[in-house]
Structure 1
Amino acid sequence: MERRYASHPNEVKQFDTARLRQEFHIPKLFTPDKLELVLTHEDRMIVGGAAPVHQEVKLEIDLKELGVSYFLERRELGAINVGGPGVIIVDGTEYELDTKDCLFIGMGSHEVIFKSKEASNPAKFYLNSAPAHQQFPTAKTTLAEAESGALGSIENSNDRTIHRFIHENGIQSAQLVMGMTQLKTGNMWNTMPSHVHPRRMEAYMYFDLPEDAVVFHLMGEPSETRHIVMRNEQAVLSPSWSIHSGVGTSNYTFIWGMAGDNKAYADMDAVPMKDLK
């Protein structure tokens, strides 16, 4: 598991492109038959992916990194499948996940195993994990069952649908919040006008992008914006002090995950367009 440290906004102002990507960009999430994880010291979130193809993948790491006897002893986990049909086995119970289905796995779950139904169309499980102070039951929701709502307009190139999976009115958790935003054809902008939420960090994972398409992920303080070029199935970390908007060369989908002081999706501090620099 790779470790990333938290960065002060005054320091980030001095970063060049390579350093910015080193600190916040996660280029590889899905390696066949392996587990890829990044631990950030921003609210101790873990971001990663499990890509079972020819064999099962277990949620196993060097536990010295967490100081526990098993991964979810003091953590909870959210998994969203962005590949073909798959299965997650939690302490012997199987949960089938089709594309864009979500499974929340509560604190105290000992064994978690990821597998695909077909090697020719493997599952890809995108993972977010946060520390937990209370145990909540493992629960699954499908894209159709999620709380969904439309935002934006074609006039502003941001006509999109937001699906909330793990949140205060959906699957219950100690602090993890996860959902997905789908932009309609012909739309490129997300989360603009931008905002920050100083009480929570966030991670984005962009997917459903054509091979030659990119998303310019905007970050930084409103008065000191920067960008990171994102490609299909890559993730980016967003500190609590940073905006997190993006614009693509085509429409796309992204998964957002948050950890921090509350689970209120609407708890954000708006940034007026005139203040962006």
Structure 2
Amino acid sequence: MLTVETRHAIDPRTAKGFDTDALRANFHMGDLFRDGEIRLCYTHYDRMIVGGAVPHGSALVLDEVRQCGTASILDRREMAVVNIGDSGTVAAGGESYGLEKGDVLYLPMGAGPVTFDGAGRFYILSAPAHHAYPARLIRIGDAKKVKLGSAETSNERTINQFVHPDVMQSCQLVVGYTQFAPGSVWNTMPAHVHDRRMEAYLYFDLAPDARVFHMMGEPDETRHIVVKNEEAIVSPPWSIHCGAGTGSYTFIWAMAGDNVDYRDVEMVGMEQLR
């Protein structure tokens, strides 16, 4: 079963007037992972698609998505799939790939229908593409690791870069995930914005009663959204994106836009935040 929701782009002036329900309706993505279903959110932020697939004993095939306007989703798109569950397989382009938890699979434009099987919980990210780069299965040992933050500021973390220029080529997708040292709860702090690229976060590995307070909005007009396990946030290019958890968690970050330069950001000083 395939379900697709469309999210239109929101400008910062409009977002200033949103209450909690409106913020969640436009930027929060919950219920992405349902047993036996593929659930997608087609956003108008650089046409990024964010979604989940949970085979749950029966293979699921992702092929035509009407919102893409093509016969098959990857006719003019690339895709990254992150397994956040148990062992599973993803098949496309005549190849089958076994994904353990934490593995990332890149699929190029033209790879055809995508089949999900096994016990995996597959997080799906897709953006328009202009070239067919080789498919690649990237395991945690192949990722580039960047260590940032400190215990003193509660943001000691390791950024694992998978679909990234230092690891492999892609058209515009940049994907990885961040893991924290014990006791650290702040992600992406100090905050930043990058007007040339949108971003999406998926928070997972949270305890059932844990929450992340995700911060968004213009630096001097911040808002927050409360997120539980396996829920995502779409972040407009004009918005900061950071958060703090009540316990341990991991988050997957993904970007699309004008470039794949991870360093193309505008830092936000603490004195700018309101």
Q: Does the CA-based 8 Å contact 1:104-1:171 persist in structure 2?
A: no
3-state SS of paired residue (1:20): helix
TM-score (norm 2): 0.97
Where does 1:10-159 land on structure 2 (aligned, <5 Å)? Answer: 10-63=13-66, 65-116=67-118, 122-159=119-156
* Aligned-pair identity (%): 49
Q: Does the CA-based 8 Å contact 1:215-1:246 persist in structure 2?
A: yes
Residue 61 (structure 1) shift: 4.1
Q: 1:258 aligns with which of 246, 255, 264?
A: 255
Q: Does the CA-based 8 Å contact 1:178-1:258 persist in structure 2?
A: yes
Q: Which amino acid aligns with 2:246?
A: T
3-state SS of paired residue (1:144): helix
1:189-229 deviations in whole A, cap 9, x for unaligned? 01111000001000000001000000000000001000000
Question: RMSD over aligned Cα, in angstroms?
Answer: 0.8
Q: Distance in 2 between matches of 1:168 and 1:99?
A: 23
Q: Following superposition, which runs of at least 4 residues in structure 1 exceed 2 angstroms of deviation?
A: 60-63
Q: Which amino acid aligns with 1:41?
A: H
Structure 2 unaligned residues grouped into runs of 5+: none
Q: Distance in 1 between matches of 2:157 and 2:216?
A: 20
Q: Distance in 1 between matches of 2:170 and 2:65?
A: 25
Q: Does the CA-based 8 Å contact 1:199-1:260 persist in structure 2?
A: yes
Where does 1:182-197 land on structure 2 (aligned, <5 Å)? Answer: 182-197=179-194
Q: Which amino acid aligns with 2:58?
A: Q
2:250 corresponds to 1:246: no
Q: 2:166 aligns with which of 166, 169, 172?
A: 169
Report how many aligned residue pairs link the two structures.
271
1:133-190 deviations in whole A, cap 9, x for unaligned? 1111111110111001211111000111100000111121100000000112211101
1:236-267 deviations in whole A, cap 9, x for unaligned? 00000000010000121000000000001111
| Residue 12 (structure 2) aligns with | 9
TM-score (norm 1): 0.96
Q: Which amino acid aligns with 2:7?
A: R
Q: Distance in 2 between matches of 1:231 and 1:247?
A: 12
Residue 62 (structure 1) shift: 4.0
| Residue 119 (structure 1) aligns with | none
Residue 91 (structure 1) shift: 2.6
3-state SS of paired residue (2:200): strand
Residue 29 (structure 1) shift: 1.3
Q: Distance in 1 between matches of 2:57 and 2:236?
A: 36
